[in-house]
Structure 1
């Protein structure tokens, strides 16, 4: 690669490194917890605590997303994933909320991992920008989550 090549790898950002460290902490903490029920209850408390720490705009979005996801798919277990509220089925993260502040983005994101069953043809969306959660947006989130766990 030449010195003038602008595609050189510069490594992970500080935010990405912090998220990876946070994920390692989450895994260590989860491994130390007691029974499955205790782990699930504590994981939900961790998610709610993380949401409560967010700035006003992100917190309002995350609270609504959390309410819609848990009401739509009670089989999804709330947990922290790279420091973000996430919802897993059989231990695999199906969807997650990423605050705008997490990676200094202009909008929050509702994302879906490959465990989500959103496949539609040869190409489909796996992340959605969120700027507000209106009744229409809540209905769309609920439909996506229901489809993701179907």
Structure 2
């Protein structure tokens, strides 16, 4: 093998990105199983949250409670190994990416194109989360409600 054929993080996917792609492939296989249920998705989300570092886990737990309380019609499932919540069509509306997932300095609350958060010609689709507070909870609840409206 020559030096040019070796992939590095600068010219290809990082180890974290490759792991996320493998997680997504496993999720797709699980979704294709006959009898896969909403409960399977919920357990996968709870298992993923339990694996997070303590700071990320605390945020993910609060996000999970806020999303499920404000949008009970969304189904929890993992998406690229991240806790996510999908509409009845199975499209991801909102997801939580912990800081440890890709070694970022903050966790992220993100929205996919199935979310109804359009505002003019430009709008945010992800938000950095560092600490949970009543103000953050209120904003997340508002965003989730708008996303499913």
Structure 1: unaligned runs, 5 residues or longer:
1-8
Determine the structure 2 residue equivalent to 1:126: 125
Q: How does 1:1-150 map to 2 (within 5 A)?
A: 10-34=11-35, 39-89=37-87, 90-150=89-149
Determine the structure 2 residue equivalent to 1:6: none
**Superposed displacement of residue 30, structure 1:** 2.1
CA distance in 1 between partners of 2:132 and 2:74 (Å): 20
CA distance in 2 between partners of 1:33 and 1:133 (Å): 38
What's the TM-score once normalised by structure 1's chain length?
0.90
CA distance in 2 between partners of 1:118 and 1:31 (Å): 29
**Superposed displacement of residue 50, structure 1:** 0.7
**Which runs of 4 or more aligned residues in structure 1 lie more than 4 Å from their structure 2 counterparts after TM superposition?**
none
Determine the structure 1 residue equivalent to 2:6: none
Determine the structure 1 residue equivalent to 2:7: none
Determine the structure 1 residue equivalent to 2:3: none
RMSD: 1.1
CA distance in 2 between partners of 1:12 and 1:126 (Å): 23
- Secondary structure of the structure 2 residue equivalent to 1:54: coil
Aligned length: 139
What per-residue deviation string (whole Å, max 9, x for no partner) do you get for residues 7-26 of structure 1?
xx712211111101110011
CA distance in 2 between partners of 1:140 and 1:63 (Å): 16
